[in-house]
Amino acid sequence: MRIIIIIMILPVLIACCTYDNDTVTKPSDDDIICESGDTISVRLGEQFEISLVAWSYSGGYQWIFIKRFDETKVDSVTYMTELLNPDRPLGSPVIQRWVFAATSRGKTCASMICCRPWNPRDRDSGTKCYIVFVR
Sheet arrangement for strand 119-134:
38-42, 119-134, 106-116, 62-67
Cα(48)–Cα(40) distance, integer angstroms: 8
Strand (E) or helix (H) holding 17: helix 2-17
pLDDT for the residue numbered 125? 60
pLDDT, tens digit, for every residue of 23-76? Answer: 334 444 444 456 668 999 999 999 999 999 988 777 888 899 999 999 999 999
What structural domains does the chain harbor? 24-134 (2.60.40.2020)
Out of 57-61, 104-108, 123-127, the most confident range is 104-108
How far is residue 52 from each of residues 10, 29, 81, 95, measured CA to CA in Å? 41, 21, 10, 6
Higher pLDDT, residue 17 or 118? 118
Instruction: Please report the pLDDT score of residue 34 as a whole number.
Output: 62
Q: What pTM was estimated for this model as a whole? A: 0.70
